[in-house]
Amino acid sequence: MKFSGVRSLTLVSVAVAAVVLAACGKKDAASDATVIKIGHVGPVSGAIAHLGKDNENGARMAIEELNAAGLKIGDKAVKFELLAEDDAADPKQGTAAAQKLVDAKVNGVIGHLNSGTTIPASQIYNTAGIPQISPSATNPKYTRQGYTGAFRVVADDVHLGGTLGKYAVETLKGKNIAVIDDRTAYGQGVAEEFKKGATAAGGTIVGHEFTTDKASDFNSILTTLKAKKPDVVFFGGMDAVAGPMLRQMKSLGIEAKFLGGDGICTSELAKLAGDAMKDDSVFCAEAGGVEGEQKAGMDKFRADFKAKYNADVQVYAPYVYDAVKVMATAMVTAGSADPAKYLPALKAINYKGVTGNIAFDEKGDIKNGALTLYTYKGGERSQLAVVR
């Protein structure tokens, strides 16, 4: 049975296929299998360690399933090995982690989580000729550097920020809109796209203030914005900052609706915000989403993940899981784990995953990427709509 990179593949069919080509990697002495090294990088320490661990667990789940399937690449039995690194959401640590994976001769990389670490690390992977799939970096620059091996499985900030800007004005009826961002590549990027979308829809940006991804005191900037009487506050950043910010908005009597991108769109946000989060007052968008018959697959993934790790999916674990499976499928299609040999198959992939159909455009961006809009009710995320 031949495989084509332009076909949607399932790993069940891949597992039973007789593909007779050469594989690349080292031998596992115990099993006589060729070892394929997949690198993963995310912040498993620091303020957003819960998101980094979520990603890493998604990768481990995929690796374990690949090994249980008994895959062959070419005529060789293979064993996938996860090399997991911590970048602490810090660009310098991110590039050090990237170099460590390059030195370990990984066959491919899934990561990083943040745009601010993904973009500088991508230069290192590109120089080494190692394909990289980010499951969550949304800054447009990542796939606009001309790197042939850079891919992402979620929609970018142009789509995400612009859609939220339009939603703030047209659905939430926001007229006076305040913006805060944490000055990271992600936070600044999504905030700027939000402003464009809100302005185009007829909203007025009454103020734009700045913080950092490690800040915990926002009274000064919130007091400045309160004087401008916003009915919507948009935050470009992560949940670890958004939670305390919501608490301080409540203490200052700011009643505005609160919006953010996928960085705040987590199950952890409700815990971080505590009683400052009223029903239908916080809105966010996740860069991805499924609907219809695909929802059953995502629901099963979430249930399996909870059973395995005793933790709810935060945001990105299913995208990491799919990214690992996509990379492995490209290797099987090409009959090789050599990056130069499987890269064409990765570019041409058409894979049905738990997050939906995955195919890449000429830049490495996902085609027809979805967004899922959420609000919070009773401390839980509640899905509003999937948009494209």
DSSP class per residue in 198-209? HHHTT-EEEEEE
Parts of the chain belonging to CATH 3.40.50.2300:
11-154+291-368, 157-286
3-state secondary structure 310-348: CCCCCCCHHHHHHHHHHHHHHHHHHCCCCHHHHHHHHHC
Residue 137 Cα to chain centre, angstroms: 6
Neighbours of 91 (CB within 10 A): 19
Give CA–CA dist 234/228, Å, rounded.
14
- pLDDT score for 294: 85
Cis peptide leading into residue 112 (ω within 30°) = yes
Per-residue pLDDT 10s for the chain (388 aa) are 333 443 344 443 433 333 333 334 555 544 578 999 999 999 999 999 999 999 999 999 999 999 999 999 999 999 999 999 999 999 999 999 999 999 999 999 999 999 999 999 999 999 999 999 999 999 999 999 999 999 999 989 998 999 999 999 999 999 999 999 999 999 999 999 999 999 999 999 999 999 999 999 999 999 999 999 999 999 999 999 999 999 999 999 999 999 999 999 998 999 999 999 999 999 999 877 887 888 899 999 999 999 999 999 998 999 999 999 999 999 999 999 999 999 999 999 999 999 989 999 999 999 988 889 999 999 899 999 888 7
* 103-114 burial: b if 16+ Cβ within 10 Å, else e: eeebbbbbbbbb
Closest Cα partner for 178 from 170, 187, 168?
168
- pLDDT score for 32: 76
| Furthest CA-CA distance within the chain | 69
Q: Are 105 and 83 in contact (CB under 8 A)?
A: no
Q: Which two tokens stand for residue 173?
A: 């009826």
The CATH number of 157-286, from 3.40.50.2300, 3.40.1010.10, 3.60.15.10, 3.40.50.300, is 3.40.50.2300
Give CA–CA dist 57/54, Å, rounded.
5
Q: Which two tokens stand for residue 151?
A: 């891919």
Give CA–CA dist 262/286, Å, rounded.
4
- pLDDT score for 26: 54
Closest Cα partner for 287 from 185, 183, 158?
158
Give CA–CA dist 28/112, Å, rounded.
27
**Residue 227 burial (C-beta neighbours within 10 Å; 0-12, 13-18, 19+):** exposed
- pLDDT score for 370: 82
Q: What's the CATH class of domain 11-154+291-368?
A: alpha beta
- pLDDT score for 30: 46
